[in-house]
Structure 1
Amino acid sequence: MKRNYYLLAMVFALGVLNTVMAQSRNYINYQGVARGVDNQLMEQEALTIGVGIRFGSATAPVAYEESHNVTTDANGVFSLQIGKGDVVSGNYAGLDWQEVPFLTVYLNGVEVGTTELMAVPYAISSGDKQWEVNGDAIINKNTGTVAVRNDLKVNGGLRLNRGAQVDEISDNATLSENSGAILPTQRAVKTYVDSRLPGGGGVEQTALEVPYDNSTSGLAATNAQDALDELAGGGADLDSDPANELQNLSLSGTRLAISGGTGVDLAGILPPGGSDDQNASEVAFDNSGTGLAASNTQEAIEELAAGGLVDTDDQGLVLTGDVLSIEDGTGSVDLGDYVDVTAENGLLTGNGSAIKGLVGTSDGQVAKWDAGSGQWVAGNDEVAAGGGGTLWEEDGSDVYYIGGDVGIGTDAPSAQLHVVGATANPVMFETDNLRNWVSYDTSNGYIGYSGVYSGARDMDFGTGSGNSTGKVHLVTKATPRLTVEANGDVKVQKLEGSGERNVVADANGNLKASEPVVFKYEGNGFAVKDLDGGTVIEADIWENVLYDTTGSLNRTTKRFVCPKSGYYFLHARVDQSNAVSSAFFAIKFNIQSNWLSGSTVDGDTVDTEISGIFRLNAGQEVYVQLRNYTEGQDSRIDGFGSFFEGYRIN
């Protein structure tokens, strides 16, 4: 219905105007009361209010226009802020308020009046035109100096046009903040510099005023001048080479020192009593395998000498042929059992009959036993059984292996690479790149990959971009259970079947196919039931079942019994036998609370129909009811042309 708002302009003229400053923008508060042409309040109504601003006269062109979507309250009152609406045309921030402003008001697109704005914010009038609004910021347009009479307070940062931002001015003389946004005072800088210079520091500082740390040099000097003097007066150059001074080692007690240098305490590696004047009694003796009672070297020698077990006279070695013996001693050694190897080079190896030197042929080779030849050979890795060649080959910086299986953690590998680990993570692939994946190739070429590829923290498993036909299967017992087709379709084996079906999750989260609930019942015959005047009957005339996916028709009561809870679309139509009647008829479902929710027709309409969407509970019965409002005007209904149908939406 079209409404008129002719009285609205007069009501708007009574609106209240004032201004607010919000988020660095100057808005004009506007409030009005809306009444209709009948002078009745327009209560709780949604309106579109448009405002236009003109300058100079009420008929001047609109310099700025915006719209507001508002809702009146119980008294027809609405409020809005001019300058904060949806812009239709113009720029509110750039309006020139020098001339007298006029406000034009529109309601739902219809102009209802123009009036002069008697109050304009000072911040947007000529008294403050040195500032302009730019989004959430205000900018001073003055080209000269902006003077501040009192203190200037900056809550955020102070940013210079061609320099860094300054957040704070600090008098901290330690400069401990070490910040690029803090500006130190002159006093703070001077105090910091003075504290860094030692006594006398400055352009006139001398070596005598520079401290010197002598803790590791052995010098006695505590300043740079004395240290230089001490080094310069260290004595004559004994070898006449100023770059290589002769130094002496000396042992004092357990401290080993070098002249002009530092010393080392040997107490940790000398036996008890060990020093430059150590004697045999201070040297420990292990008597566990000798049968002697002595616990030091002095006592052991005395015990042997006293027992006549050793002759302490000078003795000589005697070589007679290949036999080596000692004068006045017992025992000898036959040197004929030993082989002269002085002419051999490399690593000495033997094969039971001869000793020879093993020499490699390239860097990195080691001695390897060759079971085939029964001797040691030089190689890069293990030699093949009986073959004498290496299993691993080199090609530049590459190393490769052609035949057999490789085992890590096992000596019986059952695959080309067989890893056995004692931990739960025996294999790890690590890279310094954001991506990390394993490629899968067959005789058909590159198939796919698994790993990190699509996202830096996401895991992928699937086909590569060049594989346009491959699928991705999730399998159990080597049988695909969930398949992602090449086009992105997902197929679940358990849900396969004829026809399209909904997929739902049960209470345990398992996916299953949801069978649809669809039914349609028809009547049969003419004039199958009376509909007397002033009575209500149930249309239990359904004899033919066209389809019923869940067998939900009660054949005895001719009622639909809801098989599953949910939302259903229901539709019924009943034909009357008498085509012309002055009576009024109504039709509804029994689940509707009153006849006003149904459908009503006059008697000359043969078909009486009802349809709608209803929430049904499992086991709930639904049937069709008919009502004849007119006393004395009887009627009959046909089975032919009458039907009851529906289906479950979810």
Structure 2
Amino acid sequence: FNYQGVARDNDGNVYANRAISLEISLHRNFEDGPVDFQEEHFVTTNAFGLFALTIGEGIPVFGNMSNLDWGNNQFFIRTALDINGNRNFVDLGSTRLLSVPYAIHAMTAANATGGSEDDQLLALNGTLLSIEGGNSIDLAPIFSAGSDDQSLSLNGTVLSIEGGNSVDLAPLLNNSGGNFWMKAGTGLTYLDGPVEVNQLDLKHDGTYGLQLQTTSSDGGSLRLNAPHGGLIGLFNQYRGGGALAFYNGMGNLMLDLGIQSAQSSGLIKINNTSFQTVLEMQQTTTGAGFLETRGPNGNANVSLSNLADAPNNGFVSIKDDQGESQVRLYVNSDGDGVIAADVKNFVVSHPDDPDKEWVYASLEGPEAAAYLRGTGKLVAGRAQIAFPDHFQSIVNASTITVMLTPLSGSSKGMAVVDKSEQGFAVMELLDGKGNYQFDWEVKGIRRGYEDYQVERSKIRLDAPASPVSKSTDNSRKNGQ
């Protein structure tokens, strides 16, 4: 008999187009009863993981199908699988065979003796009945004589008979005036055209559970109500399109999903219990994403979007309690990453006091500069300092400034007598021949930032497509 299955892994994914092997066992009377028959099959699944085999035609392991006593025993089929096509089978469980795979009576009838040698066959062809080796008779007169077979049809409430008249059943269906509902199975059927329902309420214990209604103001809404009757969910038309709203147990709008009336694009608002919007997501005027969080006072504290004149460049604005930007992180129109704040710090934990930390402020100036410093040594009054490769690549050599500090009280003074992209040369004054160390520091403008402008137009975050409101419209709970 045939057997089909689908091979899947533990996550439900099918083993497609894969060679697998199966072990089929038939247990007598119990799931773990004696094994009367066992065989192996090696098959390949299709693109959907489906495989098919015929039990009884596999590689025999134990027993013979023809010796199974199907009539006096129950049998359970147990399947084991090896997804690699070997013989490391994993038991997949068993199930009872509820019917024998072939007719038991057919087997016993195979040895039965025949009946009378005068057995004959009857055949019916249309209305003509014939007997084997004999004559025939036409049964048409029996089928048609005196027959008044006719068909009934129901159209709405009108019942018609084939070739005859019709009768309107509305009075029978409407004993109380205007009821065209008829029970049909587990449902109801309306017999007089489309059904128009202005409001449909699904109730439990006298309170609304689900309410479907149509109104002139919103065109229709689906309301989900709490056990006490208060609104907790609403799906309706709002701002010119579909909108979904969720309320807390007090009826306050907490989550609003819909569209922007200005751009007809998505809008998400999360509110607090004071009707203040604390998070809003929509799009900007240039079609980029916009996200803003707000404090309990309704003012924005973080805005995330894009640069106003560069819709593909990110912009994060961190604001004070008045909603004024104090920290800005963005990529400008030249592709440079910029951090702007009142104070730029680096922070390290205090090594001895876990409740404290050390905060250093960055040194700032009107240039985009870099520096390098070190200690050199005069030998016979002269020294040469070489710049490392990274400093040569970063700094414009024509802008460098060198500061020197002699580390000897006998110094006659020092001078930089040559500057280049590779480094600088130092000489002791007054043709001195001193041999001592000195500290040096070099500052220079970074390559590509020679035109750094201190005074510039204010950088702005791209505006949201719809005006950002501090408070939410809680009137939607009334379906408005």
What's the TM-score, normalizing by structure 1? 0.23
Determine which structure has greater relative contact order: mean sequence separation of CA pairs < 8 Å that are 6+ residues apart, divided by chain length. 2
Please identify the structure whose Cα radius of gyration is greater: 1
The structure where strand makes up a greater share of residues is: 2
